[in-house]
């Protein structure tokens, strides 16, 4: 009798727990599903049913219009260039810098680590950074979008911790055979560090893809806009009008009608790459971040 009661109780706990987690997942997914559905619907269907989770009255006109926008393409190209270069150079820097710092034989290791950690605790702030970029003549260049976020102490420490966890014997054997440090690093250590490299690549790529700050501070000309500045222009362009009219509903002309679904189509186009790549890289970054957080 008691054992039966207990089993029912256990099951009830699981039922409630699983249900709550499913609800939490639904809350996380809903905005994405809604945005994508609206982007493929007609404006009339959207007004009638703004909470839709499936396209109504299938309509691609918002995509047709946004695809005709020249700045979408230039900003997409800019963001792809910045992301690719930033991730490639950044990862190379992390590998090169983290490797010596993971070696106890390195002289001055403690001081160097203090120098790294200090950059995580204190910074010059916006104005000196702006002045530096201006003095280097980098305002309104791709470099201004790449350099400020190229290299962070946090990621460096994650990679250093990972290198430290690799057994020394593996390198020792190669060293006895006369292998040089570059050979050991790139032929032995790097292949063994795929999880952390994948994690840092994902973090860096997402960081560059999503970055808005560098664009708004350092970029002037529309031709150099990253994707996020374009997206903001599309969203604010419509909502600024709303603010100007005091949130008045009545003054919605034909243009605003178009703008609404246009926003949803742009949102979809901007987040699609992340939504597509993310599930495949997910298994790496959990492993990578756990290794880092346990040690660091």
Partner 1 sequence: MELAAHESLPAVRKSRWQAFRIHMAHHKWLYLFLVPGFLYLFIFKYIPMAGIVIAFQDFSLVRGITGSQWVGFDNFDYLFQSRDFYKVLRNSIVLSVYQIVWGFPAPIVLALMLNEVRHMLFKRVSQTVLYLPHFISWVVLAGMVINFLSPSTGPVNAVIKSLGYEPIPFLLKPEYFRTILVSAEVWKGVGWGTIIYLAAMSSIDPTLYESARIDGAGRFRQIRHITLPGIAPTIVVLLILSVGNILDNGFEQVFLLYNPMTYDVADVFETFTYRIGLIDGRLSFAAAVGLFKAVVGFILIVAANRLARLFGKQIW
Question: According to CB under 8 A, which residues from 250 to 269 bind partner 1?
Answer: 252, 256, 260, 263-264, 267
Q: Are 81 and 142 in contact (CB under 8 A)?
A: yes
Question: Is 33 near partner 1 (CB under 8 A)?
Answer: no
**Which of 58, 104, 122, 220 contacts partner 1 by CB under 8 A?**
122
Question: Is 154 near partner 1 (CB under 8 A)?
Answer: no
- Among 84, 75, 27, 43, smallest CA distance to 269 is for 75
Q: How far is the CB of 58 from partner 1 (least distance, A)?
A: 19
**Which of 67, 73, 119, 296 contacts partner 1 by CB under 8 A?**
119
Q: How far is the CB of 172 from partner 1 (least distance, A)?
A: 14
* Distance of alpha carbon 53 from alpha carbon 58, whole angstroms: 13
For partner 1, the binding residues in 52-91 under the rule CB under 8 A are none
By residue count, the chain amounts to 296
Q: How far is the CB of 196 from partner 1 (least distance, A)?
A: 15
**Which of 67, 77, 282, 296 contacts partner 1 by CB under 8 A?**
282
Question: Is 279 near partner 1 (CB under 8 A)?
Answer: yes
Which residues on adjacent β-strands are paired with residue 256? Answer: none
Q: How far is the CB of 48 from partner 1 (least distance, A)?
A: 9
| Angle between helices 70-101 and 227-244 in degrees, nearest 10 | 130
**Which of 74, 141, 165, 210 contacts partner 1 by CB under 8 A?**
210
Backbone angles phi, psi at 154, to 5 degrees: -60, -50
- Among 225, 287, 234, smallest CA distance to 263 is for 234
Of the candidate spans 44-52, 53-61, 69-77, 161-169, the one that interacts with partner 1 by CB under 8 A turns out to be: 44-52
Cα-atom radius of gyration of the chain, to the nearest Å?
25
Enclosing H/E stretch for 227: helix 227-244
How many residues of this chain interact with partner 1, rule: CB under 8 A? Answer: 96
Question: Is 143 near partner 1 (CB under 8 A)?
Answer: no
Q: How far is the CB of 29 from partner 1 (least distance, A)?
A: 6
**Which of 7, 64, 134, 194 contacts partner 1 by CB under 8 A?**
134
Question: Is 181 near partner 1 (CB under 8 A)?
Answer: yes
**Which of 71, 93, 166, 190 contacts partner 1 by CB under 8 A?**
93
* Distance of alpha carbon 166 from alpha carbon 80, whole angstroms: 33
* Distance of alpha carbon 111 from alpha carbon 117, whole angstroms: 10
Going from the C-alpha of 192 to that of each of 111, 220, 222, 296, the distances in angstroms are 28, 43, 43, 19
**Which of 3, 243, 254, 276 contacts partner 1 by CB under 8 A?**
243
Question: Is 289 near partner 1 (CB under 8 A)?
Answer: yes
Q: Are 163 and 189 in contact (CB under 8 A)?
A: yes
Helices marked H in 53-108:
61-67, 70-101
Of the candidate spans 69-77, 166-174, 189-197, 230-238, the one that interacts with partner 1 by CB under 8 A turns out to be: 230-238
Q: Are 195 and 291 in contact (CB under 8 A)?
A: yes
Of the candidate spans 69-77, 166-174, 187-195, 206-214, the one that interacts with partner 1 by CB under 8 A turns out to be: 206-214
């Amino acid at each position: 009798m008691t054992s039966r009661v207990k089993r029912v109780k256990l099951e009830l706990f699981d039922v409630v727990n699983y249900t709550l987690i499913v609800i939490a997942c639904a809350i996380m997914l809903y905005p994405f599903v809604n945005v994508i559905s609206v982007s493929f619907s007609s404006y009339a269907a959207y007004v009638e049913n703004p909470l839709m989770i499936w396209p109504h009255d299938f309509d691609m006109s918002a995509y047709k219009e946004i695809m005709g926008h020249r700045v979408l393409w230039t900003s997409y190209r800019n963001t792809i260039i910045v992301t690719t270069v930033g991730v490639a150079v950044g990862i190379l820097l992390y590998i090169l810098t983290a490797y010596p710092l993971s070696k106890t034989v390195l002289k001055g290791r403690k001081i160097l680590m203090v120098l790294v950690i200090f950059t995580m605790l204190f910074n010059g702030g916006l104005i000196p950074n702006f002045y530096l970029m201006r003095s280097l003549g980098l305002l309104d260049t791709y470099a201004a979008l790449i350099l400020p976020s190229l290299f962070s102490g946090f990621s460096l420490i994650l990679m250093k911790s990972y290198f430290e966890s690799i057994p020394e014997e593996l390198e020792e054997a190669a060293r006895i055979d006369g292998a040089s440090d570059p050979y050991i690093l790139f032929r032995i250590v790097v292949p063994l560090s795929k999880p952390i490299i994948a994690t840092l690549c994902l973090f860096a790529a997402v960081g560059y893809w999503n970055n808005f700050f560098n664009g708004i501070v350092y970029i002037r000309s529309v031709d150099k806009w990253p994707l996020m500045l374009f997206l903001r222009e599309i969203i604010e362009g419509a909502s600024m009008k709303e603010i100007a009219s005091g949130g008045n509903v009545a003054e919605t002309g034909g243009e605003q009608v178009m703008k609404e679904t246009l926003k949803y189509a742009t949102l979809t186009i901007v987040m699609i790459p992340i939504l597509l790549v993310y599930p495949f890289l997910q298994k790496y970054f959990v492993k990578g971040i756990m290794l880092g957080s346990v040690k660091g």
